Structure 1
Amino acid sequence: MADTPTTTTRAGEQATRDERPGSSAGVAATTLGRMSDRDRAARGKAARATTPLAAHAEFRRSDEVDPIALLLGQAEMRVPELVPIRHGRMLVSPFTFYRGAALVMAADLADTSTSGLETQLCGDAHLSNFGGYASPERRLVFDINDFDETFPGPFEWDVKRLAASFVVAGRDNGFTAKQSRTVTMAAVESYRTAIRTFATQPILTVWYAHLEIEDAIARFAASLTDRERKERKAAVKDARKALAKAHTRDSLQALDKLTTVIDGQRRIVGAPPLITRLDDMTGLDTDDVLQRLTTLIADYRDTLTADRRRLFDHFELVDVAHKVVGVGSVGTRAWVLLLQGGVEGEVLLLQAKQAQRSVLADFVPDLGAASPAAMDPADPPGHAHEGRRVVIGQRLMQASSDIFLGWLRATPTRQGEQDYYLRQLRDWKVSAEIEQLTPSSMETYARLCGWTLARAHARAGDRVAIAAYLGKSDRFDQAIGDFAETYADQNERDHAALATAVDSGRVQAQSGL
């Protein structure tokens, strides 16, 4: 450990070289630990001279960005027969297109002004990538829940993607322009004020901060006036119903939905093309593949902490299936792993999801695969482990992470090496039904997302500098609001371009799946 020095500032604040988020502004985490709050705030204020807050309103697409070409380029690295399903899901609406177009937005953001203040980014911080799940203490917490694209970069890139998603979703829900603007401003204001609060707190307080959904609902209900309580009675009731439903969405519920007992053995139920059992895949020796997977699972086990390895050792792999998930992820490999313990009914469902190169990697200024968050120090240059990148990014940004979160590399395959990260499948996982949100309920949700993103950025970046850069006024909020509306317009044009490409035969799409 002598080669990973730490430095300590107020309240035990530390930063190690191995887990720093990186910074093109030339401030490494080891340096950050030695900087005073005054110097960090001065750095944030100085950044305004280079990139004024108003500059974040600007957006004009470069002639070099072809959204359809970018999507087709991604398709080359995906399972060919699943790519049309991805395009079909993106065609449903401008919002579903936006969900699958993280690469397109990364290319667009590369041409915008940046603050130079960096942190670990989610990389795909749209509103559907937030939600509830079970913490290791079995409490339902609200957090970011998708880190496929996590990478170090300018903090405002996540804020812009989140803000634009609220405009796109609001329009899809039939909100007026004013209502969509109010929702979007709520998200950005919540982010800015939360960052400023975190900037005044010791780093340990920031790391312990989390949002428990039960407590949030109770506080919200208690804060309402009698009039507001009547107006929002249905919203509070719906929130509590969703809370109750979340507690049923665990591995046992997934077990009932995804598996059955055949000849005394529990097996995953196939439903091609969305769920394809291993023994239904042509050209595969099932026994041989299961043996190889067992070896890979042993490699994954080594990425867990010692106590969790002991827990994992109670289970044995018994069945595997491929499952199509999400919108943007469709076409990447995602496997459901059924593991069984020695006691009847003792089961564990894991998801092994392929991790490809982050969409941000080619666009973040002055950063690349050599980022400590993107690769293991033991990896040779240019040979980052993408599964590890996802896991480290998730651990940096989430207040509570899945106890079975880990990674593995499958090699060799016909496509070369494939990196994966693993986690439990559906552990109390619940997401907002975006299309059911009213302007009022979406505004509340926006504030939760803004606070949560701020806490994630405060954990991994220089919260003092970011807070000083943002300042007390709403100038940043207004600029991001303007950007979000402009980008939502662009997203609608891109969605229409995809429909045209499908009609012309340039892009293949399969709808209804």
Structure 2
Amino acid sequence: MPEVPGVSGPAGAPGGTGVEGLTVPGLTGLAGAGSAGAGLSPKAVGKALRAAVPRAGHAEWEADAGRPGAVEMVEASNAGRLPRLTPIRVGRMAASPFAFLRGSAGLMGHDLVRTAVTGIGAQICGDAHAANFGLYGDARGGMVIDLNDFDETLHGPWEWDLKRLATSLVLAGREAGAGEDTCRAAARDAVGAYRRTMRLLARMPVADAWNAIADERLVTHADARELVGTLERVEQKARRNTSARFAAKATEQADGGLRFLDAPPVLSRVPDEEATAVAMALPGYLRTLPEELLPLLGRYEVQDVAFRVVGTGSVGLRSYVVLLLDHRGEPLVLQVKEARPSVLLPYAEKAGFPPPEAGHEGRRVVLGQKRMQVVSDVLLGWATVEGRPYQVRQFRNRKGSVDPAALATDELDDYGRMTGALLARAHAHSADPRVIAGYCGKSAELDEAVARFAAAYADRTEKDHGELVSAVRGGRLAAEAGV
């Protein structure tokens, strides 16, 4: 590739773009919420909501007449993606009903509008399925367990994340060969852990609740002891999952330096002008970082840029890896990934949550992530490449994940409890845990209702998956399997 500038920006480049103050809107979209809550404690406000939105009502859902078909949804969501990569996306979604769910957050958003909505708003993941939790490294070498995918994040109904998590556990369990009772128990336990964790956070001092349960102590809290061995193995693998290890496998010596290997379709070299456009966007990225980090990145130089295919929901979006080297030749790899509007945006608006002001979609993803995680990648930022918004983050910062569809039967409900607890902690950063805890209550009524919904929606997802497979077999959709 041609010579490109270093990562360092101009001296004194502005930074300090930390998360600004978040005004918690509370019961967004609930008619009369302001007057109904007057004089009541937050817990009482949540409890009073049960009359308007009974917890048992969360079990109910019916497909509406205007619901798009599975194939129609996939075709529509492929718009704007790179056509050469959409067969990979279709192939991944066709692999199983659980895989289909992972790529169809927009379709589920359409359906969730027709379910019970409390009106309590939170910063939600938007795609909180069971495979979007995992381990990653913090800046000091520690390991954190948390949500780790925020492409669809926005302000919306907290229960949407919970229903997506519960449904994904049912589908993952079915794929693993678990019995239906086990699958439903995992969904029910996830909701129960969410409810109990929210109650715990509501009783804690605010600062303690804010920083709670992001490490191995969560396993004990969530009564997920059967997972200990699995998490230890994932952690050992995650610690080796670094930029240096990736660079050692994915680069070669060329012209006195390193360059990425050409290994399509997953990793591909790009034309010089495309690589230069990505590199030229990095000074703008620096301006989205805290100012104290500028000297760190200023000691690296851009070495190469390549295109790299990303996960199921994002296949077909533009995504690059940027190889940086320090003065000793030690690598740091950044991922520069296209950011599009959340697929849940129109559905959240229908549910009574007004859309945010138009802005940079990479910024939306980054700030949403910071609002939900206890510890985030210190190099999270955003950039604009040839007019398109991107998010920027470290690539392979000791990430590790559990495949929920490969868990043993006795681990599935433990995993459900762990992820349910994590989700509650994430929501409690932006929603008052006292209000949600007041609504959820002490009984298992909500647990049972969401588990019933999850089983029913898993059945619908299996039908949707079947439609997609039929379209592939019939030649309507091209699919490339095993990529």
Q: Using structure 2 for the length normalisation, give the TM-score.
A: 0.90
RMSD between superposed Cα atoms in Å: 2.3
97-106 or 66-75: which moved more?
Answer: 66-75
* Distance (whole Å) between structure 2 residues aligned to residue 410 and residue 102 of structure 1: 26
* Cα gap change, 1:298 to 1:118, in 2 (>3 Å): same
Distance 1:358 1:172, change over 3 A: same
Measured after TM superposition, the shift of residue 295 of structure 1 is 2.7
1:36-185, aligned counterparts within 5 Å? 38-66=40-68, 67-185=70-188
Q: Among residues 413, 427, 431, which one is paired with 1:457 in the alignment?
A: 427
Residue ranges of structure 1 left out of the alignment (5+ in a row): 1-15, 225-231, 280-285, 376-382, 412-416
Structure 2 counterparts to residues 157-306 of structure 1, below 5 A: 157-213=160-216, 215=217, 219=220, 236-279=228-271, 286=272, 288-306=273-291
Task: Tell me how far 1:261 sits from its aligned partner.
Answer: 2.0
Partner of 1:344: 328
For 1:485, what is the secondary structure of its paired residue? helix
Structure with bigger RCO (C-alpha 8 Å, 6+ apart): 2
Q: Distance in 1 between matches of 2:377 and 2:87?
A: 32
Q: Deviations over 1:16-59 (max 9, x none)?
A: 985335456269xxx9xxx9995212221221121100000001
Q: What's the offset of the Cα at 1:394?
A: 0.1
Aligned to 1:366: 352
| Per-residue CA distance 1:283-308 (angstroms, 9 max, x = gap) | xxx1x444433331000000000111
Q: 2:445 corresponds to which letter in structure 1?
A: R
> Cα distance, 1:163 vs. partner?
0.3
- 2:186 aligned partner, one-letter code: V
Matched, 1:492 2:477: no
Is contact 2:223-2:417 (8 Å) kept? no
1:481 aligns with 2:465: no
The residue aligned with 2:395 is 425
Unaligned runs of 5+ in 2: 1-18
SS of equivalent to 1:111: coil
Distance change (3 Å), C-alpha of 1:472 and 1:18: same
Cα contact 2:224–2:417 (8 A) shared by 1: no
Q: What secondary structure does 2:325 align onto?
A: strand
Matched to 1:407, the amino acid is: W
Structure 1 residues 444-474: Cα deviation after superposition (integer angstroms, max 9, x where no partner): 2111101100000011112111100000000
Which stretch shifts more, 482-491 or 346-355?
346-355
CA distance in 1, matches of 2:434, 2:468: 42
Query: How far apart in 2 are the matches of 1:189 and 1:24?
Result: 22
Q: List per-residue Cα deviations over 1:222-272 (Å, max 9, x = no partner).
A: 997xxxxxxx6xx64443232222211111111112222224311111211
Shifted more, 446-455 versus 262-271: the winner is 262-271
Residue 423 of structure 1 aligns to a residue whose secondary structure is strand
**CA offset digits 1:152-211 (Å, max 9, x no partner):** 111100000000000000111111111111211111111000001111122211221132
Q: Which amino acid aligns with 1:366?
A: G
Q: 1:316 aligns with which of 297, 301, 306?
A: 301
Q: Check the 8 A contact 1:317/1:340 in 2, yes or no.
A: yes
Which is worse superposed, 270-279 or 143-152?
270-279
Counterparts of 1:396-415 in structure 2, within 5 Å, are 396-411=371-386
Using the TM superposition, give the Cα deviation of residue 149 of structure 1 relative to its aligned residue in structure 2, in angstroms.
0.2
> CA deviation digits over 1:326-383, x for unaligned, max 9?
1111111111111112x223221011111111011000123344x2xxx5xxxxxxx3
SS in 2 for 1:322: strand
> How far apart in 1 are the matches of 2:388 and 2:26?
28
**Change over 3 Å in CA distance of 1:476–1:257 after alignment to 2:** same
Whole-angstrom CA distance in 2 between matches of 1:37 and 1:465: 14
Query: Contact between 1:87 and 1:509, CA under 8 Å: does it hold in 2?
Result: yes
The amino acid of 2:461's aligned partner reads N
Residues 325 and 331 of structure 2 are in contact (CA less than 8 Å); yes or no, is this contact kept in structure 1?
yes
The residue that corresponds to 2:14 in the other structure is: none
Amino acid at match of 1:400: V
Q: How many positions carry a matched residue from both structures? A: 457
Q: Is the 8 A contact 2:278 2:305 kept in 1?
A: no
1:216, distance to aligned residue in structure 2 (A): 5.1
Instruction: Report the Cα offset of residue 410 of structure 1.
Output: 2.2
What's the CA shift for 1:220?
Answer: 8.6
Question: Which residue of structure 2 lines up, in the alignment, with residue 333 of structure 1?
Answer: 318
Distance in 2 (CA, whole Å) between partners of 1:423 and 1:390 is 11
The residue matched to 1:131 in structure 2 has which SS?
strand
Please say if residues 408 and 421 of structure 1, whose CA atoms lie closer than 8 Å, have aligned partners that are also in contact. Answer: yes
CA contact (8 A) 1:259 1:267 kept: yes
TM-score (norm 1): 0.85
Matched to 1:56, the amino acid is H
| 1:137 Cα offset (Å) | 2.5
Offset, 1:278: 1.4
Q: Is the 8 A contact 2:371 2:429 kept in 1?
A: yes
Say if 1:57 and 1:480, in contact at 8 Å, map to a contact too.
yes
Q: Distance in 2 between matches of 1:17 and 1:251?
A: 30
1:24–1:385 CA distance, 2 compared to 1 (3 A): farther
Mapped contact 1:117–1:462 kept (Cα < 8 A) = no
Of the candidates 399, 404, 407, which is equivalent to residue 437 of structure 1?
A: 407
Which residue in the other structure is 2:340 paired with?
A: 356
